[in-house]
Amino acid sequence: MAKYEYTEMKDTRSGFGDGLLEAGKRNKNVVALCADLTGSLKMNAFKDAFPDRFIQAGIAEANMMGVAAGLTIGGKIPFTGTFANFSTGRVYDQIRQSIAYSGKNVKIAASHAGLTLGEDGATHQILEDIGLMKMLPGMVVINPCDYEQTKAATIAIAEYDGPVYLRFGRPKWPVFTPANQKFEIGKAVTFQEGTDVTIIATGHCVWESLKAAEELEAEGLSVEVINIHTIKPLDNEAILKSAAKTGRVVTAEEHQMNGGLGDAVAQLLSRNNPTPMEFVAVDDSFGESGKPEELFEKYGLGKSSILAAVKRIMKR
Amino acid sequence: MASIQELENTASQVRRDIVRMVHAVNSGHPGGSLGCADYFTALYFEILEHSTDFKMDGKNEDLCFLSNGHISPVWYSVLARSGYFPISELKTFRKIDSRLQGHPTTHEGLPGIRIASGSLGQGMSAAVGAAMAKKMNGDNKTVYCLHGDGELQEGQIWEAAMFAAHNKVDNLICTVDYNKRQIDGDTDDVLSLGDLRAKFEAFGWDVMEMDGNNMEATINGLKAAKIKTGNGKPICILMKTEMGAGVDFMMGSHKWHGVAPNDEQLADALSQLTETAGDY
């Protein structure tokens, strides 16, 4: 079981920026491309440290994806940086053909994912990106839960050979995982063991799940909290083991219910060990402008929604 | 160094391969393939500094990309006949369990292919990336990429064109198969390309023109383009070709873009193309 302890508020995108700088120090083949969002993606530190390995792509994301694919041919390890919306739906065919089908070692770094970029509204709040990317054969899909995990994931994917989608967010969010942790692609992290219900969460919803679990424990429930940072490949073993123990699973994610983590878990369980499930996710809706915490509440992603989901499943 | 006659002989055999491959599976794209037979033959048998002992990274080699991947038959024939894989493998084109997919791909590990293409407009970006990697690696070889003219209707091409000029990617020669035809008809009728020379020049490219169905002109044009590399600008060759070149009934219209000949038509086509190196 992994330990966690709240330390500070920090954005996951800064975890990416700091991880990218570290990955760049470790391997001279790491290069970075950005589509006119260097500050937003926190890529300035890499750009300043390695100006010859930073490529400004301009507002031309399709070309950026293709150039990244081409760079891999010469042995480079390119990280593309833009918002999640423009990292996926806008360039889906470029990723599909030039990166995924071609098996290119491109790391697609996608910031401002989900509702929590806030005030910019639904044009920028993609909630479909996990689904889009996990459907692509061979694509690794990662959604870390805090600054430290994002930093560690960024370093880890630079060392992995193959296409990766790394999704993170804009707002400052609680940091609770340890500094300098080892990130294992595809390996679940169990933050809390329990026997009555399993909460499986990814991204910003992990902290909300831990807070919910605290309250539930106080009410006498024994709650297991598993962090799935890698949605694909899924840690089947960890999920099946926990579901077999508790017999109840609640998933929580900042994404559409269709196509996200919940879908992946449901598919796994229905094939191997059908288990009652509840899904905390956005239910077939676009977002809107607002503060991140307001949006989390309104669209049913926060602690209160997780508590309600657990209460529902306990009655089933 | 091959003579012009030898290269023309090779191109004739390549054209035989193209019509036979497409006929055998009753699918594929003979028109553009025939039109680009001279270009690919010139490139692989005379111009490219390359090794047929294929390595993906192609370090210290010239690289060739095909953005309009549907003309895969001509590329497959030339790759096989220049030694990348057995010529006999051409008979597997578009069949189940083949490395010769309908559109080129790295997925089945066919030597000579470095990225999948077929969904149009993506090849220039990949070629630009590969050319930039060469510069980063201190590799002074050249990257070639072929495009369809209809393909230039894709917006990504112009993103890549702007980006390549901005970044002075001058180790890149992009050739446009300027046959003025596409699936639905003449490019002028479907979506006019306007003044392509002026467009590429306005984007900051060094533009030249070349007759792509005359072997001597093709060789000279490609050599002239090579001399232009290293001068701070990417190079564009507007290559005039005839869709279906070499087979009289396939020329003069767009209708053989993606249609296979029947038995009779195959015989007619083959009667016009000398077998110079043995059919596969």
Predicted confidence (pLDDT) per residue in A36-93, tens digit: 999 999 999 999 999 999 999 999 999 999 999 999 999 999 999 999 999 999 999 9
Instruction: Read off the pLDDT of residues B112-122 as tens digits, 9 standing for 90 and up.
Output: 999 999 999 99
**For residue B61, what pLDDT is reported?**
98
Angle A303-314/A205-218 helices, nearest 10 degrees? 50
- Whether domain A9-175 has CATH 3.40.50.970: the reply is yes
Pick from B57, B122, B158 the residue to mutate for testing the A interface (most A CBs within 10 Å). Answer: B122
Chain A stretch 195-224, residues whose beta carbon is closer than 8 A to a beta carbon of chain B? none
A41 to chain B, any CB pair closer than 8 A? The answer is no
Answer yes or no: do B107 and A93 touch at CB < 8 A: no
- Which whole number is the average pLDDT over A263-267? 98
Per the rule left: phi > 0, alpha: psi between -120 and 50, beta: everything else, A196 is: alpha
Enter the ipTM: 0.97
Q: How confident is the model at residue A3 (pLDDT cuts 50, 70, 90)?
A: confident
Tell me whether residue B58 is exposed, middle or buried, using C-beta atoms within 10 angstroms of its C-beta: 0 to 12, 13 to 18, 19 or more. buried
Which 8-state DSSP code applies to residue B254?
Answer: S
Q: Domain B4-271 falls in which CATH fold?
A: Rossmann fold (3.40.50)
Tokens read off for B131: 């050319």
Answer yes or no: do A55 and B56 touch at CB < 8 A: no
**Domains A9-175 and A189-314 agree in fold:** yes
Pick from B125, B139, B171 the residue to mutate for testing the A interface (most A CBs within 10 Å). Answer: B125
| B-chain residue closest to A57, CA distance | B163
Residues B190, B185: Cα–Cα separation, whole Å: 6
| B-chain residue closest to A51, CA distance | B136
User: A279 phi and psi, to 5 degrees?
Assistant: -120, 120
| A-chain residue closest to B138, CA distance | A74
Closest CB to A98: pick one of B126, B133, B155.
Answer: B126
Domain regions of chain A by residue span = 9-175, 189-314
Residues A73, A199: Cα–Cα separation, whole Å: 42
Per the rule left: phi > 0, alpha: psi between -120 and 50, beta: everything else, B83 is: left
Residues above pLDDT 90, as percent of chain A: 99
B258 contacts: CB under 8 Å, gap ≥ 6? B28, B29, B31, B70, B183
Q: Using a CB-CB distance cutoff of 8 angstroms, which residues of chain A are in contact with residue B134? A: 74
CATH of span A189-314: 3.40.50.920
Closest CB to B122: pick one of A78, A98, A103.
Answer: A98
Answer yes or no: do A70 and B128 touch at CB < 8 A: yes
The helix or strand, by DSSP H or E, that contains position A50, with its residue range, turns out to be none
Q: Compare A201 and A1 and report the one with higher pLDDT.
A: A201
Tokens read off for B148: 């369809």
Per-residue pLDDT of chain B (280 residues; tens, 9 = 90+): 789 999 999 999 999 999 999 999 999 999 999 999 999 999 999 999 999 999 999 999 999 999 999 999 999 999 999 999 999 999 999 999 999 999 999 999 999 999 999 999 999 999 999 999 999 999 999 999 999 999 999 999 999 999 999 999 999 999 999 999 999 999 999 999 999 999 999 999 999 999 999 999 999 999 999 999 999 999 999 999 999 999 999 999 999 999 999 999 999 999 999 999 999 9
Closest CB to B160: pick one of A66, A68, A102.
Answer: A66
Domain regions of chain B by residue span = 4-271
Tell me whether residue B88 is exposed, middle or buried, using C-beta atoms within 10 angstroms of its C-beta: 0 to 12, 13 to 18, 19 or more. exposed
Mean of all residue pLDDT scores within chain A: 97
Residues above pLDDT 70, as percent of chain A: 100
Closest CB to A70: pick one of B105, B116, B129.
Answer: B129
Q: Using a CB-CB distance cutoff of 8 angstroms, which residues of chain A are in contact with residue B122? A: 62, 66, 93-94, 97-98
Tell me whether residue A163 is exposed, middle or buried, using C-beta atoms within 10 angstroms of its C-beta: 0 to 12, 13 to 18, 19 or more. buried
B25 contacts: CB under 8 Å, gap ≥ 6? B93, B94, B95, B260
- Which whole number is the average pLDDT over A203-226? 98
Q: Using a CB-CB distance cutoff of 8 angstroms, which residues of chain A are in contact with residue B127? A: 70
User: A249 phi and psi, to 5 degrees?
Assistant: -130, 130
- Shortest distance between the Cα of B84 and any Cα of chain A, in A, equals 18
Query: What does the angle CA B11 – CA B13 – CA B16 come to, to the nearest 5 degrees?
Result: 110
* Known catalytic membership, residue A214: no
CB distance A112 to A83 below 8 Å:
yes
- Which whole number is the average pLDDT over A117-129? 95
Is pTM, for the whole model, over 0.90? yes
B130 contacts: CB under 8 Å, gap ≥ 6? A70, A71, A73, A74, B58, B63, B65, B114, B143
Bridge partner residues of B147 (DSSP): B176
- Shortest distance between the Cα of B107 and any Cα of chain A, in A, equals 6
Q: Using a CB-CB distance cutoff of 8 angstroms, which residues of chain A are in contact with residue B116? A: 97-98, 101-102
pLDDT exceeds 90 at position A180: yes
- Per annotation, catalytic residue among A61, A148, A224, A254: A61
Pick from A53, A55, A63 the residue to mutate for testing the B interface (most B CBs within 10 Å). Answer: A63
A59 to chain B, any CB pair closer than 8 A? The answer is no
Residues A285, A245: Cα–Cα separation, whole Å: 33
Q: Among residues B68, B33, B66, B31, which one has the least CA distance to residue B186?
A: B31
- Shortest distance between the Cα of A100 and any Cα of chain B, in A, equals 10
pLDDT exceeds 90 at position A1: no
A75 to chain B, any CB pair closer than 8 A? The answer is yes
Q: Using a CB-CB distance cutoff of 8 angstroms, which residues of chain B are in contact with residue A73? A: 56-58, 63, 114-115, 126, 129-130, 133
Answer yes or no: do B126 and A73 touch at CB < 8 A: yes
Strands B63-66 and B143-148: parallel
Q: How confident is the model at residue A106 (pLDDT cuts 50, 70, 90)?
A: very high
Closest CB to B125: pick one of A58, A63, A76.
Answer: A63
**For residue A97, what pLDDT is reported?**
98
